[in-house]
A and B are shown apart, each in its own frame.
Chain A
Amino acid sequence: MGENELILSLQNLTMKFGGLVAVRDFSMDISYGELVGLIGPNGAGKTTIFNMITGHYTPTAGKVIFEGRDITGLPPWQVARLGIARTFQNIRLCREMTALENVLISFHPRVRSTVFDAILPTPRYLREERKMRERGMELLSAVGLEKWANFRAGALPYGLQRRVEIARALATSPKLLLLDEPAAGMNPAEAADLMGFIRKIRETFNLTIFLIEHVMQVVMGICPRIRVIDFGVSIAEGTPEEIKNNPKVIEAYLGEEALRA
Chain B
Amino acid sequence: MTRPAAMAGAARTTAPVVVRSGELSKGGRRHLLSVAELGAEGIEEILEVSDAFVEVGRRSIPKVPSLRGRTVVTLFAEQSTRTRLSFETAAKRLSADVLSFSVDTSSVKKGESLRDTVETVAAMGVDAFVVRHTSAGAPAAVARWVDASVVNAGDGWHEHPTQALLDCYTIRQVLAERSGRPSQGAGVGCFVGLRVAIVGDVRHSRVARSLVLALGALGAEVTLVAPGSLLPPSLEGWPVTKVSYDLDAVLPHVDVCYLLRLQSERGAGAFLPSVREYSAWYGLTSRRAALLGDGALVMHPGPMNRGVEIADDVAALPQSLVLRQVSNGVAVRMAVLFMLLGQVGSGGAAPDLAPTLAPTPGTVPGA
Q: Do A and B come from one complex?
A: no
What is the interface of chain B, defined by CB distance below 8 A to chain A?
Answer: none
What is the interface of chain A, defined by CB distance below 8 A to chain B?
Answer: none
